[in-house]
Amino acid sequence: MSARKSKAGSAPKVRITSIRSAPLFGESPKGGWSAEIEPEDSIHALIAVHTDAGITGFGSVFTDARLVAAALKVLEPLYAGEDALQPERVSEKLHQNTFWMGRGGSLTHTISGIDIALWDILGKVTGLSVSRLLGGRHRERVQPYCSLLMEEPKKMKDVVASYKAKGFTAFKIGWGPFGRALDHKLDEAIVKAAREGAGPKSKLFVDAGASDAYWPHGLKWAMRTAEMLKDFEVGWFEEALRPDAIDDFCELRRKSPVPIAGGEVLTRRQAFIPWLTRGAFDIVQPDVTKVGGISEQRRIAWMAYDFGVKYIGHGWNTALGVAADLQMATAFPETDLVEFIGGSPYVDGITVEPFKLDKEGWLQIPDSPGLGIEIDPRKLARYTENPKSLFA
């Protein structure tokens, strides 16, 4: 169905009638967290924004679905009846009117999913991809890096090699025993094994996962580890320090022989200002499914560009999160990589057409209306109890 016609010379009106969420659970992949994720845990929720034009937009939230459901009830008086074709204005309204209720927390995460869905609607109504709505496309395909958990060395090599055999040419290993075992030789052996599995020509990145609970290391460990990573031609060192240690990040970036990346736990554009102005990152990694959505992410990405910091979105999420990341990846001049979690059914198993690598291990970036993907209700039913609410 199409948007309702308005008076001559005015834009069509598409009003939000309801917003629904659905948890994903049953096959949640391990996260490498010290309090490990179980398959039945909900760490991702899908969002559907329904409109009076019969057009539905979809988004994703990296948050327990119970929190998303509660946040939608809080936000409902603010979004009910709103114009779905004005994503930035509507999202900013939600942010501005909830400063005192959970600024940066679950409300902000939920606004992320709503915002992604509103951009999807705007694209479907205008017939344009989100990337074109954001100002244009710098590339038609992008290299995905396969995001994998750290393993013991022998298994690490085999796991990376198995995804290389599937066509990936870039890899990130993170969390798990790295750093946690308090054994620098083991850390080195893990990275060496990953490099052997990836081969000399593949890109390799390392994520320490220092936003995990009670991270045991500080600046000196990070500096020593950065020197080790240089020997294996690691492209960046991610989350090397606790997420609030901005002074140490600045010092590490100045002295590290490998680029320093981070920012996935920060939410709202304002939180990134000190990290960019003080030079804490070589690569900044906001997560579109919790930072505030596409509207916030694009502002952060352009701000980073103006400070000479590369934007590569954090994307440990769902197929809808990947779709948003792909649209963002083409909208910015230097974004040549996109994160792609290896082996997650919430990425590989819920769309009508699964993501497919080309012969060089890259992903095509959809240029069809909105986010450019279609969720399959039958496939989704395996991972949520009431998928119909998303499509009503």
**DSSP per residue, 318-379:** -HHHHHHHHHHHHHSTT--EEEEETT-HHHHSSBSS---B-TTS-EEPP-SSBTS--B-HHH
CATH superfamily of 132-377: Enolase-like C-terminal domain (3.20.20.120)
Q: How far is CA 277 from CA 169, 308, 382, in A?
A: 33, 10, 45
What are the start and end residues of each CATH 3.20.20.120 domain in the chain? 132-377
What does pTM read for this prediction?
0.96
- Output the CATH code of domain 16-127: 3.30.390.10
Q: What is the mean pLDDT of residues 239-268?
A: 98
pLDDT band of residue 12 (cuts 50, 70, 90) is confident
Q: Which residue has the tokens 């074109």?
A: 132
Nearest to 341 by CA among 327, 355, 331: 355
Instruction: Report residue 48 as tokens.
Output: 């559907």
What integer best gives the mean pLDDT of the chain?
Answer: 96
pLDDT digits (tens, 9 = 90+) for 305-352: 999 999 999 999 999 999 999 999 999 999 999 999 999 999 999 999
Phi-psi region of 236 (alpha: psi -120 to 50; beta: other; left: phi over 0): beta
pLDDT digits (tens, 9 = 90+) for 264-279: 999 999 999 999 999 9
pLDDT on residue 7: 58
pLDDT on residue 222: 98
Q: What percent of the chain has pLDDT over 90?
A: 95
What are the start and end residues of each CATH 3.30.390.10 domain in the chain? 16-127
pLDDT band of residue 392 (cuts 50, 70, 90) is confident
Q: Which residue has the tokens 């590490």?
A: 252
pLDDT on residue 201: 97
Q: What is the mean pLDDT of residues 177-196?
A: 96
Report how far apart the first and last C-alpha atoms of the chain are (Å, whole number): 14
What is the DSSP secondary-structure string of 62-80? SS-HHHHHHHHHHHHHHHT
pLDDT on residue 102: 84
| 2 has a pLDDT exceeding 60 | no
pLDDT digits (tens, 9 = 90+) for 87-101: 999 999 999 999 999
pLDDT band of residue 23 (cuts 50, 70, 90) is very high
Return the SS3 of 182.
coil
pLDDT on residue 9: 59
Q: Give CA–CA dist 68/276, Å, rounded.
A: 29
